[in-house]
């Protein structure tokens, strides 16, 4: 696999309508989500509101509800939806032959 | 089929060699011939010993609806008539780009001026033991179909691994041919790449109705058999007998030849807009290519690719710009259509129509006034219309309100105003199909004083069953009353027009069994609900079907999914159960050890008479629980909408004022009721005398012991709005106190709305109602108690012990770890 992407595992390791994390030493975890339609997204695991772990929220449609105060965060853009304002950095993801790859550069930023 | 001698005489035209005699390769040649039939000398190499046939029609051949001859696209005469040399059955195994030659398996070498790679894709075979046994096949070519037909003649059981488009078509064909078919699908939703959960559920119901067994969420462990396939074993241990196993889990672009030749290959062979690879003399087309980061596994993009390829070959380049695809399942009698992007997301609006009685689900996804995706089940007549609007990127804002009803309705002139459309209906037009209510009846019921949706539902029953006519009834209210329409009771959430009570009543009345079923039958307006309705539906189903309903973990709030309380820094707090607030040296030692071993920064005595260990990391939870379990402790459910604590005072055993054994009774009640899921958290206390040291009169259920027996109190709350309990009644014995307690809990479980504590519930229904059900109605009380104890027989299974033994491992462990300086570590956990 090329050096720009990190192969983090099989798509099937992420529960549908759920998420898993990638632990980043010295920084925020990356939360990797899988929607009911089987799409995979990754965000910094940190709500723009009070830094709740988005990976622990309920995934519905294309959004996740933060477990701390129920902010809804878009999985594709990281933007807070509805009345709330704020944004969580997104991490580019691609799927290759059933494997999930996340962008190395964005992951490094999470560690910075 | 046949080896035609390759022309090597004095033909001076450029030689185009095509690797692949499938749909893409032949279509490309057809397109070229249409533009300039004389320009190139053409040779086609095919791996299969056959002429060119329509691969996507293999399913109808398997199903017996077509024969092989019906699906031939170009017969031998076509090759001859166009001077094309066909080498069938001797595949190309190497490309020498420097020498511009290809070599076949048989050793023949042919030189080219332009080379076209159209190798298509290979079926993906999951790497499980037994995958190479005779009787295990893919579903890719005519040979596979022949194998399946032979197996079907012998009868018996077949297993299809993969519930995608291809797998379901294979299953359908085998089922029609008389085999007993089981479909094993890893994902919870069939065809999850094309369908959303709601449509997938309908499809599953329909296939099961046709006698197929559909196992979703099923993971294949191995294929078993001695010398030939005999069955498939799942990771949960289930063994399914089979004399034929069809693997249809997916396809991969066939790129080996191109990669060996040193061409740029990503997921597929990389091509530009003119289908030219990294070598200008080599082109590629079809499922084997990657264009602009996309690979395609469907037939429609092929046509566009071949068009631009041929334009380039005759030096009139146009360029391919990618394709939007749509899918139809070729299973007769089951209509499924999907197109575009249906994952939703920012700025996307879902328009959903569900018609439970006709088994119809339609969902159109709109972004910036343009259709971006559509999923249709049961009624796909408008699929092509939606797909057309989607491809043309047409502005649909004028059609918005009527779009979902389809082309004929939405385009029916002047109908752009739904209110006008309703106004135009005659008085005897049917509004509510479920209850047979006409427009005239609804209007007269509104005129007689039903000024809200709820009032209409309550009087003439319109919109009271499935809810699909809610919009019509609301329009009639607005037309008849103008601004005087009264808002009804709050709906459950924005996904439905029904309130909690309606949803619950219908779940029981219609014996619904799953969240997707509820959403379909009650016409949810979103595809998979939201974080408000999903946990509520999960609870209602759990309560209605004890021991039967499979809890949906993804519909639970984090604390209930993790069996611990999330804290603001993302760590968890852990509270083991201390029965009645009692503990002992073994338990205290185990807690102390856990605190030290896992560096928990704080331990706190809770208001509910137990110990709370703070700062435990998600990954450490299973190990913490294992240690606590070893000392005999179980989950305290301090995180759940469930029984929390039973607080006690020391009672008659020690206290000079104590009248009864309040501690002992508290322990017995906690043993009876722990582990039960409720609409909200539930606290109990038992005080040994009216001094009430256990604060029983601000609990959901409180017992105050007196000389002559036990006073039972209900509906107390110590939160934001302090509420003292109402006295339910007084009983004489400990057993009665326990029985009434069980009956009260069950009444609350069955009738309160999700997230409604006992205090607001009792304020809403009145304490007299609760007295009538619990204190006055002996038979009713006993039935409630029995239902509670029955439900408890399934719920008193310590979730901590299950997790400590490895259940739901993926909730706790990270998928991978990354350390910038040291690099990257992928842990193989719970694949």
Extents of the domains making up chain B: 14-121+253-313, 136-249, 335-416, 643-795
Would the CATH topology of B14-121+253-313 be identical to that of B136-249?
Answer: yes
Q: Which residues of A touch B343 (CB under 8 A)?
A: 35, 37, 39, 62
Q: Which CATH class is domain B14-121+253-313?
A: alpha beta
Query: Nearest by CB to B529, which of A38, A60, A79?
Result: A60
Residue B124 has pLDDT above 90, yes or no: no
Range of the domain at A87: 5-111
Which structure tokens are listed for B234? 């799942």
Q: What DSSP designation does B776 have?
A: I
Q: Which residues of A touch B267 (CB under 8 A)?
A: 96-97
Answer whether B570 sits within 8 Å of A12, measured CB to CB. no
CATH number for the domain harbouring residue A100: 2.102.10.10
Q: What tens digit of pLDDT does each residue of B309-335 get?
A: 999 999 888 888 888 777 777 776 788
Residue B415 is predicted with a pLDDT of 43
Q: Are the beta carbons of B170 and B181 closer than 8 angstroms? A: no
Highest mean pLDDT of the ranges A4-18, B118-132, B462-476, B576-590: B576-590
CA distance B704 to B649: 10
Q: What tens digit of pLDDT does each residue of A94-105 get?
A: 998 889 999 988
| Residues in B 97-126 with any Cβ partner in A closer than 8 A | 124
Q: What tens digit of pLDDT does each residue of B408-417 get?
A: 676 654 444 6
Residue B538 is predicted with a pLDDT of 96
Please state the three-class secondary structure of B210-270 as a single string: CCCEEEECCCEEEEECCCCCCEEEECCCCEEECCEEEECCCEEECCHHHHHCCCCECCCEE
Interface membership of B815 toward A (CB under 8 Å):
yes
Q: What tens digit of pLDDT does each residue of B230-255 get?
A: 999 998 889 999 999 999 988 889 99
Answer whether B818 sits within 8 Å of A77, measured CB to CB. no
Q: Are the beta carbons of A18 and A12 closer than 8 angstroms? A: no
Which structure tokens are listed for B764? 């809403």
Distances (CA, A) of B134 to B147, B239, B292: 10, 18, 39
Residue B692 is predicted with a pLDDT of 94
CA distance B86 to B21: 8
Most B CBs within 10 Å, among A61, A66, A70, A77, to test the B interface: A61
Answer whether A37 sits within 8 Å of B819, measured CB to CB. no
CA distance B387 to B189: 23
> Are β-strands B282-284 and B114-117 bridged in parallel, bridged antiparallel, or unpaired?
parallel
The total number of structural domains that make up chain A: 1
Answer whether A62 sits within 8 Å of B528, measured CB to CB. no
Q: Are the beta carbons of B197 and B281 closer than 8 angstroms? A: no
Query: Is CATH 3.50.50.60 correct for B136-249?
Result: yes
Least confident of B372-376, B451-455, B626-630: B451-455
Q: What tens digit of pLDDT does each residue of B781-827 get?
A: 999 999 999 999 999 989 999 888 887 777 788 888 887 766 666 54
Residue B6 has pLDDT above 60, yes or no: no
CATH number of B643-795: 3.30.413.10
Answer whether A61 sits within 8 Å of B527, measured CB to CB. yes
Query: Nearest by CB to A60, which of B193, B250, B528?
Result: B528
Q: Which of B140, B327, B134 is nearest to B252 (CA)?
A: B140
Residue B831 has pLDDT above 60, yes or no: no
Answer whether B570 sits within 8 Å of A53, measured CB to CB. yes
ipTM value, please give it: 0.87
Residue B824 is predicted with a pLDDT of 64
Q: What tens digit of pLDDT does each residue of B535-580 get?
A: 999 999 999 999 999 999 889 998 998 999 998 888 999 999 999 9
Interface membership of B794 toward A (CB under 8 Å):
no
Q: What is the mean pLDDT of chain B?
A: 88
Q: Which CATH architecture has domain B335-416?
A: 2-Layer Sandwich (3.30)
């Amino acid at each position: 696999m090329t050096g720009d992407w990190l192969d983090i595992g099989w798509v099937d390791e992420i529960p549908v309508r759920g998420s898993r994390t990638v632990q980043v030493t010295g920084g925020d975890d990356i939360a990797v989500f899988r929607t009911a339609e089987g799409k995979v997204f990754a965000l910094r695991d940190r709500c723009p509101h009070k830094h709740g772990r988005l990976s622990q929220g309920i995934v519905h449609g294309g959004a996740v509800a933060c477990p701390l105060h129920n902010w809804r965060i878009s999985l594709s853009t990281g933007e807070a939806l509805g009345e709330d304002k704020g944004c969580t950095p997104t991490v580019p993801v691609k799927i290759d032959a059933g494997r999930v790859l996340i962008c190395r550069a964005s992951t490094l930023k999470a560690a910075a | 089929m046949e080896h035609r001698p390759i022309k090597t005489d004095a033909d001076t035209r450029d030689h185009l060699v095509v690797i692949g005699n499938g749909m893409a390769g032949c279509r490309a040649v057809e397109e070229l011939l249409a533009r300039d039939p004389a320009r190139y000398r053409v040779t086609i190499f095919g791996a299969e010993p056959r002429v060119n046939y329509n691969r996507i029609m293999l399913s109808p051949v398997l199903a017996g609806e077509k024969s092989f001859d019906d699906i031939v696209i170009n017969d031998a005469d076509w090759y001859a008539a166009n001077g094309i040399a066909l080498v069938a059955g001797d595949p190309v195994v190497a490309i020498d780009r420097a020498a511009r030659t290809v070599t076949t398996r048989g050793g023949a070498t042919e030189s080219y001026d332009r080379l076209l790679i159209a190798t298509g894709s290979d079926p993906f075979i999951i790497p499980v033991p037994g995958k190479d046994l005779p009787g295990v096949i893919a579903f890719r070519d005519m040979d596979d179909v022949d194998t399946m037909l032979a197996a079907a003649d012998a009868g018996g059981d077949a297993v299809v691994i993969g519930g995608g488009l291809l797998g379901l078509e294979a299953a359908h064909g085998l089922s029609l041919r008389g085999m007993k078919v089981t479909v094993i699908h890893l994902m919870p939703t069939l065809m999850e790449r094309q369908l959303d959960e709601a449509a997938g559920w309908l499809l599953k119901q329909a296939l099961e109705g046709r006698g197929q067994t559909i196992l979703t969420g099923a993971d294949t462990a191995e294929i078993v058999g001695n010398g030939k396939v005999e069955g498939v074993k799942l990771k949960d241990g289930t063994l399914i007998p089979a004399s034929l196993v069809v693997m249809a889990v997916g396809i991969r672009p066939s790129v080996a030849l191109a990669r060996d030749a040193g061409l740029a290959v990503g997921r597929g062979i990389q091509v530009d807009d003119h289908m030219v690879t990294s070598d200008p003399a080599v082109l590629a087309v079809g499922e084997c290519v990657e264009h602009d980061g996309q690979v395609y596994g469907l037939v429609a993009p092929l046509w566009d690719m071949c068009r631009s390829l041929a334009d380039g070959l005759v030096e009139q380049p146009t360029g391919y710009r990618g394709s939007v695809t749509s899918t139809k399942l070729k299973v007769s009698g089951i209509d499924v259509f999907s197109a575009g992007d249906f994952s939703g997301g920012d700025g996307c609006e879902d328009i959903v129509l569900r018609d439970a009685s006709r088994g119809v689900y339609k969902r159109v996804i709109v972004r910036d006034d343009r259709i971006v995706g559509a999923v249709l089940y049961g009624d796909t007549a408008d699929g092509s219309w939606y797909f057309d609007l989607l491809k043309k990127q047409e502005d649909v804002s004028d059609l918005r309100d009527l779009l979902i009803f389809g082309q004929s309705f939405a385009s029916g002139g002047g109908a752009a105003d739904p209110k006008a459309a309703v106004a135009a209906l005659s008085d005897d037009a049917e509004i509510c199909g479920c209850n047979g209510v006409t427009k005239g009846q609804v209007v007269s019921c509104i005129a007689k004083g039903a000024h809200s949706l709820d009032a209409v539902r309550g009087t003439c029953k319109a919109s009271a069953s499935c809810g699909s006519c809610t919009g019509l009834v609301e329009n009639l209210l607005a037309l008849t009353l103008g601004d005087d329409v009264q808002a009804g009771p709050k709906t459950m959430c924005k996904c439905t027009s029904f309130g909690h009570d309606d949803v619950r009543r219908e779940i029981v009345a219609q014996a619904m069994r799953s969240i997707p079923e509820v959403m379909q039958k009650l016409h949810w307006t979103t595809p998979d609900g939201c974080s408000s309705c999903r946990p509520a539906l999960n609870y209602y189903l759990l309560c209605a079907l004890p021991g039967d309903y499979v809890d949906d973990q993804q519909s639970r709030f984090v604390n209930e999914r993790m069996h611990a309380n999330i804290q603001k820094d993302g760590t968890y707090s852990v509270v083991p159960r201390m029965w009645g607030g009692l503990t002992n040296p073994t338990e205290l030692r185990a807690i102390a050890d856990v605190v030290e071993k896992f560096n928990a920064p704080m331990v706190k005595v809770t208001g509910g008479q137990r110990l709370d260990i703070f700062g435990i990391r998600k990954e450490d939870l299973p190990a913490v629980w294992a240690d606590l379990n070893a000392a005999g402790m179980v989950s305290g459910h301090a995180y759940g909408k469930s029984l929390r604590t039973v607080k006690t005072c020391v009672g008659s055993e020690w206290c000079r004022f104590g009248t009864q054994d309040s501690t002992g009774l508290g322990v017995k009640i906690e043993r009876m009721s722990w582990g039960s899921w409720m609409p909200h958290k539930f606290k109990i206390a038992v005080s040994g005398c009216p001094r009430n040291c256990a604060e029983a009169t601000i609990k959901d259920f409180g017992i105050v012991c007196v000389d002559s027996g036990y006073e039972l109190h209900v509906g107390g709350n110590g939160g934001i709005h302090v509420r003292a309990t109402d006295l339910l009644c007084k009983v004489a014995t400990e057993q009665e106190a326990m029985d009434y307690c069980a009956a009260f809990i069950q009444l609350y479980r069955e009738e309160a709305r999700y997230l409604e504590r006992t205090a607001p519930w009792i304020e809403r229904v009145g304490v007299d109602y609760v007295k009538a059900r619990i204190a006055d109605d002996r038979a009713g009380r006993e039935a409630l108690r029995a239902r509670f104890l029955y439900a408890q027989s399934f719920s008193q299974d310590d979730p901590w012990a299950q997790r400590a033994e490895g259940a739901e491992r993926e909730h706790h462990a990270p998928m991978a770890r990354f350390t910038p300086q040291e690099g990257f570590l992928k842990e193989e956990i719970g694949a």
